[in-house]
Amino acid sequence: MSGIGVFLCRCFGEVNRVIDLDYLQKKSAEYPSVVFCSVCESLCREDDVEKTVSRMKEAGADKVVIGGCSHLGRGGAIVDGLLQRGIKRSAIGLVDLREACAWIHRDDPVNAADKAWDLIRMEIASLHYRSKSGDVTVRVCPEAMIVGAGPAGLSAACTLARLGFKVHLVERGSNLGGMLNLISHVYPSDEKASEKIKPFVDEVNNNSLIHFYPKAKIDSITGFAGNFNVQVSSPAGEQRLRVGAVILASGARVWLPHGLYRYGKLKNVITQMELERQFIKGPRELKTAVFIQCVGARNHERPYCATICCPSSLKNAVRIKEENPDARVFILHRDIMTPGSVLEAYYRNALAKGVQFIRFEETNPPEILGTEYVEGMDVFDSVSGLKRKLDCELVVLSTPLIPNDDNVKLAGMLGLQIDRYGFFSEIYPLHPLETRMDGVFICGSARWPVSSDNAIVQGEGAAAKAAALLGRETVSALSLSRVPGEKLGHASVNAVTCTGCGNCVAVCPFDACRLQKMGRKRVSRVNKLRCKACGNCVSVCPNGTVQLPEHDYRAVAAMIKEAFGEEMSL
């Protein structure tokens, strides 16, 4: 049984009041390889789809062209109905007669009918050459690797372990807690940082599902969603891990403001982190303190706001004020970044506690006076328009978080994107924890600077995404799709004609193409689970060896020939 059945839809008069469907029916029925052509009142209701399938069976047609409405109209529903009844996607052609012909060319019925006939012929021609990609299914390894044991990594690890998955927690340092080990209190709860991580640390130590690898380095990661092979070296020796999902929570580091505001030259110009270290040791007696915001951030070199510096300064300024009620504490800022209700209340609290805020402009930064120690400061208050002289015993510089250097290496191993600053990029703002690679998730400051509370929330979110993958028994290549239903296939290489030029390897954004030795030559092979069917490889292949079966070049050439009457030389 072979041949194409063509169904044309009147859409209750919407199509045939402009387009002469009888003319199209006659033309279609006469066209070679078309078994029959029928015109129906509607095609999209449940019983219509049933009728369509039985009519195809009766007439012995195995492929179908639907002339109806747009895919985003009811066309998608027709295609879904046909798929449910066992017709392959590669055997269905959908022609948009309602929106693209009848409605848009309402005033020109003759040309509308010609356009419709062109579109139908193109779809018929392409159906001859379309086929379906072969699928491959692999078992999912129900374990996860988490890179980084800061708040984000700890929360992801504990969440996954509570859900019953084995977790490998890989940390470059020797302690759990990451940056929380370096600070005394966290905002906005003003909890002790050590208290904040204690429940997580206890859980990592007591839960047998969590394996902690301190002082570890990741040498290589290969594989795909459900099946990553990781080489980890640590003082305990080299280990090979097999994991189903990877969560990157490697955090960020603090930028040191060498050369700015005489940091390193004057003894009492310190950074926020140095102040935190002093706070861990105990209270400080101070009469005056000045915080300077946006040191090395929101400038030409680092044009971003690092999110955490304003609330951190508020926290420490209030603390100085609480320990020394008579002290004068100033925060010199360009904009106070406290979005939301909790942080805005935190800002108001600082105002109520008597912390003073002075706004300066980027072009006119404060100037520090003194030779060995800070003796004072000149600042131009842009709100009052006056130059002010401040006494200060201590100057605290708020510097931004910057990405870790090994982000580049990790991104290279996993085929991820990093943004222009060096943080890991998400796939899309609506899917903020997912990356370009299936099975690899990002959270915490490795993604973008966040507070410890938000890092914990993100760790839980990433764990939810990983759990959805790890809970599956198997994963098939065609099911790894960001669009619902099946993905549009994946590239396949004809090993006989491949010359091994490597063009496809160079352009593949997902690291799916690799050159492999086969006999005496090297040929390209496509990893079906990594391939996203973008078609880059198809466009650079010099002899058409790489193809997407769903979008075969012969199908495209046949469509062009039908549309323009010209042969395409390939």
> Which residue, 302 or 554, is less far from another protein as judged by CB?
302
Asked if residue 547 lies in contact with residue 491, where contact means CB atoms within 8 angstroms, the answer is yes
Beta bridge partners of 222: 229
Pick 121 or 334: Cβ nearer another protein: 334
- List residues binding another protein (CB under 8 A): 11-14, 41-42, 44-45, 69, 72-74, 76-77, 159, 162-165, 298, 303-305, 307, 335-345, 348, 382-385, 419, 423, 426, 428-433, 448, 454, 457-458, 460-465, 467-468, 471-472, 482-485
Q: How far is the CB of 221 from another protein (least distance, A)?
A: 23
Q: Which is nearer to another protein, 57 or 482 (CB)?
A: 482
Strands 356-359 and 367-369: unpaired
Closer to another protein by CB, 46 or 285: give it.
Answer: 46
Nearest to 447 by CA among 474, 425, 475: 425
Give yes or no for a contact between 34 and 123, defined as CB atoms under 8 angstroms apart: no
Q: Which C-beta is closer to another protein: that of 31 or that of 304?
A: 304
Span between the terminal Cα atoms of the chain, in Å:
31
Q: In the complex, what is the shortest distance from the CB of residue 163 to another protein, in angstroms, rounded to a whole number?
A: 6
Q: Which is nearer to another protein, 323 or 419 (CB)?
A: 419
In 448-529, at which residue ranges do the beta strands (DSSP E only) sit? 474-476, 492-493, 513-518, 521-526
C-beta of residue 228 within 8 angstroms of C-beta of residue 410:
no
What's the CA angle centered on 467, arms 463 and 472, to 5 degrees? Answer: 165
Task: For the chain, give the longest Cα–Cα distance.
Answer: 97
The whole-angstrom separation of Cα 503 and Cα 238 is: 35
Q: Which run of H or E residues covers position 561?
A: helix 553-564
CB of 345 to another protein, least distance (A): 7
**Which residues on adjacent β-strands are paired with residue 224?**
227
Closer to another protein by Cβ: residue 247 or 270: 247
Residues 99 and 69: beta-carbon distance below 8 Å: yes
d(CA 487, CA 249): 29
CB of 237 to another protein, least distance (A): 32
Least CB distance from residue 75 to another protein, whole Å? 10
Report the C-alpha gap between 231 and 198 in whole angstroms: 29
**Are the C-beta atoms of residues 560 and 567 closer than 8 Å to each other?**
no
| Between 384 and 497, CB nearer to another protein | 384
Q: For residue 492, what are the β-bridge partners? A: 547
Least separation in angstroms between CB 226 and another protein: 14
Is the Cβ of residue 165 or residue 263 nearer to another protein in the bound state? Answer: 165
Q: What sign for the dihedral angle of Cα 113, 118, 120, 121?
A: positive
- With respect to another protein, which residue has the nearer C-beta, 73 or 376? 73
Q: Which amino acid is at 284?
A: R
Provide, rounded to whole angstroms, the least separation between the CB of residue 363 and another protein: 12
Q: Are 299 and 340 in contact (CB under 8 A)?
A: no
Distances (CA, A) of 112 to 40, 97, 119, 425: 19, 9, 11, 45
**β-strands 546-547, 492-493: how paired?**
antiparallel
Residue tagged 């410890």 (tokens): 452
The two structure tokens encoding residue 502: 């490597």
Question: Which is nearer to another protein, 58 or 195 (by Cβ)?
Answer: 195
